[in-house]
């Protein structure tokens, strides 16, 4: 199976693209701060899932990269908190994005707790 078929990757990629589109409307003075951070972190979630899947031969590497991905997902949520507080997101946009981020986190945690279901040898 290709990592792009993993539900965690698909949902994380979709969220990253949604964040990109919404953050296009953030103020220009946030370009190298909030906008850049929230985009890079949300994309990093996907990249770490891909890397974890490629390292699944080694269970500790798989779990380590997924843990990194989970951390990046949590950081994405923090930047969304800032975007809400700065009034760059509506409350409904914020709730939608955070709910999607939480869903991604739950899937990543499932993968961490069940590595053999994703091709890791115990």
Delimit the domains of the chain by residue range: 3-116
Q: Please tell me whether residue 38 adopts helix, strand or coil conformation.
A: helix
Q: What does the pLDDT read at residue 3?
A: 95
The count of residues in the chain is 122
Alpha-carbon distance of 71 to 4, in angstroms, equals 20
**pLDDT tens-place string over residues 82-103:** 999 999 999 999 999 999 999 9
Q: Give the single-character DSSP code of 25.
A: T
- 107 burial level (CB within 10 Å; 0-12, 13-18, 19+): buried
Q: What does the pLDDT read at residue 101?
A: 98
User: In Å, how far are 30, 60, 89, 108 from 70, measured between CA atoms?
Assistant: 25, 15, 23, 6
**pLDDT tens-place string over residues 6-43:** 999 999 999 999 999 999 999 999 998 999 999 999 99
Q: What does the pLDDT read at residue 122?
A: 75
Report domain 3-116's class.
Answer: mainly alpha
């Amino acid at each position: 199976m290709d990592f792009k078929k993993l539900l965690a990757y698909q949902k994380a990629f979709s969220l990253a693209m949604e964040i990109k589109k919404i953050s296009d409307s953030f103020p220009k003075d946030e370009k190298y701060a909030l906008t850049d951070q929230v985009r890079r972190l949300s994309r990093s979630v996907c990249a770490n899932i891909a890397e974890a899947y490629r390292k699944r031969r080694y269970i500790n590497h798989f779990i380590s990269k997924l843990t990194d991905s989970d951390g990046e997902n949590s950081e994405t949520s923090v930047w969304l908190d800032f975007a809400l507080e700065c009034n760059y997101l509506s409350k409904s946009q914020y709730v939608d994005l955070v709910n999607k981020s939480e869903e991604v986190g739950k899937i990543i945690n499932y993968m961490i707790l069940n590595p053999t279901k994703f091709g890791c040898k115990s």
